[in-house]
Amino acid sequence: MNCLICSNEFIEKPSWSYLFMIKQPQVICDKCQKKFEQAEMKGFHKDWEGTIFEGFLDSLTSIYSYNEFMNDVLHQYKFLQDVELAKVFREDFVHLKSETAMIVPIPMHPEKLKERTFAQVDELLIAANIPFTQPLQKTMNITQGKKSKIDRTQSEILFSVTENVVGKSILLIDDLYTTGTTLHHAAYILKQAGATNVSALTLVRV
């Protein structure tokens, strides 16, 4: 087997969980695996307090923290369109199989999707075999670089809700948590539409 990240050949140690199909076969070498760092910070930025978005996002969990290695892997995944790399993270999402909340990946703006050719967050869930629902539509196409303090007070919401979410518990999935704008906007609009609980899980916390 060749590592999906560094291309070096590696041998997977046989294990019972693999033989019994409990675990998916490893797709990256141990050396690359060790370069990822587990996220330590929990919760979201305090500067959302006192804004119109306060109290809408109930909780936030991130799996990894951002480092140079993660930056390179995400670059290869998102910008070089190496969709295969979604498999690297499938064990990180596999626990969602027993999730009772409605699983909602953060959608891309249709224009952005055309540009990128694949929905990067959807693909993470597809690789892990996790079913999801999409009640959100991205209505504003803003780039990462434009996200700033001003986003916390703006009233123009980045998403609209296109399906009934009344009384639903929702778990939002995103690749990155940076300023929190995306997740706070999504939680705000979902609760306005009647969702009772909105939590979030992100692959990486910057």
Can you give the binding site for Zn ion, defined by CB under 5 A?
3, 5-6, 29, 32
Nearest to 175 by CA among 124, 138, 117: 124
Q: Which is nearer to Zn ion, 9 or 40 (CB)?
A: 9
Minimum distance from CB of 15 to Zn ion (Å)?
19
Minimum distance from CB of 119 to Zn ion (Å)?
26
Structure tokens at 188: 């705000």
Helices (H) and strands (E) in the chain, counts: 7, 7
**Where does 21-133 have alpha helices with state H?**
30-35, 68-78, 90-93, 110-116, 120-127
Minimum distance from CB of 6 to Zn ion (Å)?
3
Q: Name residues whose C-beta falls within 8 Å of residue 38's C-beta, 6 or more positions apart in sequence.
A: 63, 64, 65
Q: Which is nearer to Zn ion, 33 or 154 (CB)?
A: 33
Minimum distance from CB of 10 to Zn ion (Å)?
7
Q: Which is nearer to Zn ion, 23 or 35 (CB)?
A: 35
Burial of 143 (0-12, 13-18, 19+ CB in 10 A): exposed
Q: Which is nearer to Zn ion, 32 or 165 (CB)?
A: 32
Minimum distance from CB of 76 to Zn ion (Å)?
12
Q: Which is nearer to Zn ion, 1 or 6 (CB)?
A: 6
Tokens 């009344």 belong to 166
